[in-house]
Structure 1
Amino acid sequence: MILVTGGSGLLGAHLLYDLLRKHPRVRASKRPHSSMDFVKKVFAYYSNDAQALFEKIEWVEMDLDDIFSIEEALKGIDRVYHCAAVVSFHKKQAYLMQQTNVLGTKNLVDACLHSAIAKLIHVSSIAALGRAEKQEMTTEETPWKDSDKTSLYSHSKKAGELEVWRGMAEGLNAVIVNPSVIIGPGDWSQGSPQLFSLVHNGLKYYSHGINGYVYVRDVSKAMIALMESDIKDERFIINGEDLSYLELFNMMAKSLNKPYPSKEIKPWMAEIAWRALKAKSWFTQKAPSITKATARTFLQTYSYSSQKLLSKIDFQYTSMQQAIYLSAQEFLKDKSSISKK
């Protein structure tokens, strides 16, 4: 049987949907009091039988801080997809990222070793990769170089990877995946889906910074293919395309039938923005929408090679234009259904 951790997140929910199309039952972990409405919503994007599919999930409460609850969740399990993580660029979340992304992964790896799990697919991030020199593409072999620009999130995902590599050295059959920025329909108020909301609301600014992007369904399908293969003790970048922020926002604006962003954000503007929003957060007690890390990422150029993955499995990426169009259609449907209520 299969266990998916982080099943209520963007990637986890899509992975559950794809797995349930092939397997009669799948177990998924959740935190106490977690709402399952988001998972049902994701299923409804792709199926008229969303409720029937949802009922095939065996939900278990699991705390990554508690190895005993992990071992309980692993009973009868032979394959694990570890999607659970805290994604944040806020310093206030540093402790939580350390607990979940590092110590939680350590506990899961130890429990998998103890329970003789057949295979683990661990979801890391491009944030855990080294940074290539200018004009070069980042690969799985690009050396890690720490600097004052390295985010706390990057540190936590890198440290989490090291726990998985340690598990491999101790006999765990595992594969690490490093997805780029995941694009797909989901909670339009946070994470990458929030970009659709920003563009729909009239986002005016863009940059010529470049980053990697991948369709959520592609990440899910690549993970399943890697799980079903004999591949082990390796890691793979999962990146559909490198796009500038201008290209990304223009694609979103076109799909949403909204004006294209027209004002280029300059480095000095980004520096003022994150400082102003940080000052504002002191009064509102709400996390700023732009941090020092995200502001600087917005201006950087990062390029990622996915050739290793394509050389090992039979796989084809969805174009980002198509991925954005499909996601935008779900966004518009959600907006329409809300306005009718």
Structure 2
Amino acid sequence: MLIQVKIAVKIPFTLIFPKCNNYIYPMILVTGGTGLVGAHLLYELARAGEKIRAIHRENSDLNKVLEVFSFYSEAEEAKKLFHQIEWNVADLNNIPQLTEVFVDVQQVYHSAALVSFDPADEKELRKVNIEGTANIVNLCISCRVHKLCFVSSIAALGNITNADKIDETGKWNPEGKHNHYAISKYGAEIEVWRGTQEGVNAIIVNPGVIIGAGFWNSGSGKIFKKIDSGLSYYFPKVTGFVGVQDVVKSMIILMNSEKVNEQYVLVSENISFKQVFEWAANALNKTKPKRKLQKWMIALGWFFQKIGSIFGRKRSITYETINSLHEESYYDNSKITQEMNYQFEPMESVVKRTTGNYKN
């Protein structure tokens, strides 16, 4: 079935809004600051003494950001760094709010996104990830922002025919079996590339599965919680993994370089989830998961979740998940390692350190 990515309608912001950059107090704007990547990015920028503005939703918990800071600094220093940030309530689809936070902004790190694999969230994924990114790009154009960094995902990368590893040159197959999250991230990338044609200097990064401290109830953070509670099953999926600190350091290096309108895969190693589970179990002194999750088990879970969705329950398993949890996908990080001479931290070290943060 042909899957189409709808591109958000371009709005002539320069005709609607006045010039919003005088650079009296040049700032860095960060979206998604209350997420795993955003919180670690804010820590690195604050530690470097940058003038930072971060946006968050009205109901978001800023204490999670402070918790991340406390993993790497003493309590008082963490609070000091946290209070260096100018926090503003803004929604990616609220243009007046966004326009206000773009005043005096020279650089934008756009890491905000909705992550969901529930087919029921398709419209919201498009609204937040594609339309929200289009709004950011349009304001970068209107406000003459110097440079934009967009955090995408390896899920948005196309496959390469007859190649062992996937890199930045792969072509997206619109007829492929993509989940709605991947489609929305690819659509967001299209918006960024559209912006580059209209004068925006941009960098796109495609991280693998990101491992890092904090946010233990969502994303990869749940791995440590499940291992700690006695996870007995594993799935054999192999994919690209990367530490969150490598992600944010790469972003900062690329933003402060002369590189523009380029895309980079951010993956430290291609390893199995089973290996990550075992490293975490060893560090937590827990029993390693020994039972392989068979396809029929995943299919059964999909069936019951599909029934549950009739009653409004969220789904984490889709039809595509049945096969994907047994697939092996390998990613090539040579572009950033060669062009920027960047060396990634080994994943065993990342997992051990993150496990230590979890225990503390």
Partners of 1:25 and 1:56 within 8 A in 2:
yes
Tell me the equivalent position of 2:70: 44
Structure 1 residue corresponding to 2:43, chosen from 17, 26, 29: 17
Q: Is residue 312 of structure 1 aligned with residue 339 of structure 2?
A: yes
Distance 1:289 1:90 in 2: 6
Secondary structure of the residue that 1:99 maps to in structure 2? helix
Of 98, 108, 118, which residue of structure 2 is paired with 1:90? 118
Could you say if the C-alpha distance between residues 54 and 295 of structure 1 is closer, same or farther in structure 2, counting changes exceeding 3 Å? farther
CA contact (8 A) 2:160 2:166 kept: yes
Among 176, 188, 212, the residue aligned to 2:216: 188
Q: From the superposition, tell whether residues 73 and 331 of structure 1 become closer, same or farther in structure 2 (CA, over 3 Å).
A: same
CA distance, structure 1, for counterparts of residue 342 and residue 98 of structure 2 = 32
Indicate if the aligned counterparts of 1:67 and 1:108 stay in contact, CA closer than 8 A.
Answer: no
Q: How far apart are 1:246 and its partner, in Å?
A: 1.6
Q: Distance in 1 between matches of 2:90 and 2:80?
A: 24
Q: Is the counterpart of residue 141 in structure 1 residue 159 in structure 2?
A: no
The CA deviation at 1:149 is: 2.2
Q: Deviations over 1:225-256 (max 9, x none)?
A: 00000000110000011111221211111111
Superposition deviation, residue 135 in structure 1: 6.5
Task: Give the direction of change, closer, same or farther, for the CA distance of 1:295–1:33 in structure 2 (3 Å limit).
Answer: same
**Maintained 8 Å contact 1:29/1:59:** yes
How far off its partner does 1:269 sit? 1.9
Q: Structure 1 length as normaliser, TM-score? A: 0.94
Alpha-carbon offset, residue 210 of structure 1: 0.6
Question: Could you tell me which amino acid in structure 2 is paired with residue 26 of structure 1?
Answer: I
| Alignment check: 8 A CA contact 2:167 2:333 kept | yes
Relative distance call for 1:53 and 1:293 in structure 2 (3 A) is: farther
Q: Is the partner of 1:78 in helix, strand or coil?
A: strand
Aligned mates of 1:296, 1:203 — CA distance in 2: 21
Would you say the 8 A contact 1:101–1:157 is kept in 2? yes
In the alignment, is the contact (CA less than 8 A) between 2:118 and 2:317 conserved in 1? no
1:211 to 239, 253, 271: 239
8 Å contact kept, 1:124–1:157: yes
1:278/1:332 CA distance change after superposition, 3 Å? farther
CA RMSD of aligned residues (A): 1.5
* Residue aligning to 2:28: 2
Q: Find the aligned partners of 1:169 and 1:3 in 2 and give their Cα distance.
A: 22
User: 2:329 maps to what in 1?
Assistant: 302
Q: CA deviation at 1:289?
A: 4.0
Q: Unpaired segments of 5 or more residues in structure 2? A: 1-26
Deviations 1:85-133 (A, max 9, x none): 0011011221111111100100110100000000000111111101245
**Letter of the aligned partner of 2:152 in structure 1?**
S
Unaligned runs of 5+ in 1: 334-341
- Name the structure 2 match of 1:338: none
* Among candidates 48, 56, 77, match of residue 30 of structure 1: 56
Conserved? CA contact 2:281–2:287, under 8 Å: yes
Alpha-carbon spacing, 1:132–1:22, altered in 2? closer, same or farther (3 Å):
same
Quickly say closer, same or farther: Cα 1:218–1:304, change in 2 above 3 A: same
- Cα distance in 1 for residues equivalent to 2:184 and 2:352: 33
Query: What amino acid maps onto 1:312 in structure 2?
Result: E
Alignment of 1:77 with 2:105, yes or no, is yes
Partner of 1:126: 154
Indicate if the aligned counterparts of 1:245 and 1:298 stay in contact, CA closer than 8 A. Answer: no
Residue-pair matches, total: 332
| Shift in Å, 1:25 | 2.6
Distance 1:27 1:295 in 2: 41
State how far apart, in whole Å, the 1-side matches of 2:151 and 2:200 are: 15
CA–CA separation in structure 2 for the residues paired with 1:68 and 1:294: 39
- C-alpha distance in 1, partners of 2:330/2:108? 30
Q: Percent identity?
A: 38
Q: CA deviation at 1:5?
A: 0.4
TM-score by length of 2: 0.89
Q: Indicate the larger mover: 35-44 or 262-271.
A: 262-271
